[in-house]
Amino acid sequence: MTTTNRPSRSPEPAGPPPAEGGRHTRPPAAAWISWVALALMTTGSVASLRPSPTMAVYGLAAVFLYVVPAVVFLLPTSLVSAELASGWPGGVYNWVALGISKPMGFLAVWCQFAMTIFYYPSLLGYVAGTLAYVVDPDLATSGWWTAAVIVVAYWSGVWISSRGTKGVAGLAGGGLVLGTLLPGALLVVLGIVFLGKGNPSAAPMSASHLLPAWAGLASLVLIVNNFLSYSGMEMNAVHVSSLRKPGKEFPRAMFLAMGLVLLIFILPALAISWLVPADQLSLTAGVMQAFDTVLAGFGIQWLTPLIGVLLVLASLGGMLTWLAGPSKGLLLIARQEGYLPPFLQRLNGRGVQQNILVTQGAVTTLIALCYAFIPDVSSAYWIFSVITTQVYLIMYLLMFVAAVRLRRKFPGHPRGFRAPMLLGLCGIGFCASLAALLVGFVPPSQFGAGSPWVYLGIVAGGALGLGLLVPFLFHRLRKPSWRQPEVSAS
């Protein structure tokens, strides 16, 4: 995808909160941004076509499955992180370290980093499925093709990032337009024309299908993926202090962004459900399946490879932009507190945390090989997406708890924005995140052919092992010599 759910950066943590009654620093007038601009920035960092095939499986019920997590997760996350960012600079580590404890702060920033280990295989799995339509559509179901694309694309990104290349961030901005907005709008328009010419929809569009069919808990599992689609909002909250009237303008920006994001998510998902039957839909190549179908119907199938190239370039641009961000944040914390061994804190000649990237790449390569050995590529893609979501949700659970504790411990601390009904927002966000985390352990009804115990073992091993066990071991085994706060990480 142009990454909907890009891992957020973790800036250098700040020190203790300033004394009560201290003044909140405001930017100069020239640095102010409008609430509309902030809404568009937020939309650009969240919206993507990548999750569309996942929700297209549900047809019209995709509307319900997008709106619910937006209300119970996206909105609380946006408002709560805005208060934290406007009062305590330093990102999620500083918020959780001050609100709960430093070890919990390390766990939070570790989860921001660790989720990318499974995030990139799922992102690049989408790239592989899309690229297959440029080379040979039959490759979209090949596990070996998918694994090869992941390995080559990831290590190419590591090589580029390790050279300290600048200016890559602009690729993500262009990717929003070229790889998301234009293809998404084209897909929706052609889908509407396709129906207007009298062609039947592959999915029923009657009002009775607004809610997903209930087949037990497993029928709701795919909603978990939408929490990942909406994650990363804590990144955009840092801009709250750049608004002239943050108390009024930030909620407006978030509601506008939520509306735009819902449109970008829902309409392409519906268009895909019109064009491709659910039982034929690939979760990695579903967008290209829909384009291939509708463009063939209009006699312009030659555009399919061009669309595929745009989607791939946008996704790779987003990957390059964010590849080093979470690892850089982890490195800063590790050096200050000694949470990682010196080997992982080492920099190359250009000041890039190359050893972390290479170690992450080795694990990513092993995960990529799972695509070659899991018979169904869509099943592998789904499993990695669930693990990514669950690891990231651990961080959000800590963030909601920290927000409540900071409001109680420092009620008079200056904040540029105070979230309304903070306790209620944190309660809703925490319960929704916990429910999504637990539901993720249930095999979805769409993948009922495999063993549920194998699914549970893979998901639990990945999410709990990487998200909890590994940081626990780092913290338990750390030594005083691991601290290197005097060494520059820039």
Q: Where are the beta strands (DSSP E) in 2-46?
A: none
pLDDT band at 19 (very low <50, low <70, confident <90, very high): very low
Nearest to 238 by CA among 93, 87, 406: 87
Q: C-alpha dihedral over 195, 199, 202, 205, to 10 degrees? A: 50
Kindly report the average pLDDT of the chain as a whole number. 80
Is residue 425 included in any domain, yes or no? Answer: yes
Is residue 62 included in any domain, yes or no? Answer: yes
Is residue 124 included in any domain, yes or no? Answer: yes
What predicted TM-score, i.e. pTM, was given to this entire model?
0.79
How far is CA 151 from its chain centroid?
20
Domain with 120 in it? 35-478
What's the whole-number mean pLDDT along residues 121-126? 83
What's the whole-number mean pLDDT along residues 295-303? 85
pLDDT digits (tens, 9 = 90+) for 353-370: 778 888 888 888 888 887
Q: How many domains does the chain have?
A: 1
pLDDT band at 347 (very low <50, low <70, confident <90, very high): confident
Using an 8 Å Cβ cutoff, are 52 and 272 in contact?
Answer: yes
Is residue 6 pLDDT above 70, yes or no?
no
What's the whole-number mean pLDDT along residues 99-124? 88
Q: Choose between 483 and 14: higher pLDDT.
A: 483
pLDDT band at 169 (very low <50, low <70, confident <90, very high): very low
Angstrom distance (rounded) from CA 382 to CA 274 = 22
pLDDT band at 107 (very low <50, low <70, confident <90, very high): very high
Is residue 18 included in any domain, yes or no? Answer: no
Is residue 280 pLDDT above 50, yes or no?
yes
Supply the pLDDT for residue 395: 93
Supply the pLDDT for residue 486: 60
Angstrom distance (rounded) from CA 113 to CA 471 = 11
Is residue 15 pLDDT above 50, yes or no?
no
> Which stretch of 42-46, 116-120, 204-208 has the lowest confidence by average pLDDT?
42-46
Using an 8 Å Cβ cutoff, are 332 and 13 in contact?
Answer: yes
pLDDT band at 101 (very low <50, low <70, confident <90, very high): very high
Using an 8 Å Cβ cutoff, are 271 and 201 in contact?
Answer: no
Tally helices (H) and strands (E) across the chain: 21, 0
What's the whole-number mean pLDDT along residues 188-193? 91
pLDDT digits (tens, 9 = 90+) for 227-270: 777 877 776 666 777 788 887 788 888 888 888 888 888 999 99
- For 267-288, the DSSP string reads HHHHHHHHHS-GGG--TTTHHH
Is residue 350 pLDDT above 60, yes or no?
yes
**3-class state of residue 468 by DSSP:** helix
Is residue 464 pLDDT above 80, yes or no?
yes
Sign of CA dihedral 262, 267, 272, 278: positive
Residue 112 Cα distances to 6, 344, 392, 395, angstroms: 10, 17, 6, 7
pLDDT band at 5 (very low <50, low <70, confident <90, very high): very low
**3-class state of residue 34 by DSSP:** coil
Is residue 324 pLDDT above 80, yes or no?
no
pLDDT band at 164 (very low <50, low <70, confident <90, very high): low
Is residue 287 included in any domain, yes or no? Answer: yes
Angstrom distance (rounded) from CA 304 to CA 287 = 11
Residue 374 Cα distances to 146, 147, 246, 385, 455, angstroms: 11, 11, 49, 15, 11
Using an 8 Å Cβ cutoff, are 315 and 1 in contact?
Answer: yes
pLDDT band at 26 (very low <50, low <70, confident <90, very high): low
Is residue 16 included in any domain, yes or no? Answer: no
Is residue 404 included in any domain, yes or no? Answer: yes
Is residue 329 included in any domain, yes or no? Answer: yes
What's the whole-number mean pLDDT along residues 455-478? 88
Supply the pLDDT for residue 210: 83
Report percent pLDDT > 90 for the chain: 15
What's the whole-number mean pLDDT along residues 301-318? 83
Supply the pLDDT for residue 96: 94
Supply the pLDDT for residue 18: 41
pLDDT digits (tens, 9 = 90+) for 423-443: 999 999 999 999 888 888 887
> Which stretch of 161-165, 314-318, 394-398 has the lowest confidence by average pLDDT?
161-165
Is residue 165 pLDDT above 70, yes or no?
no
**CATH number of the domain bearing residue 257:** 1.20.1740.10
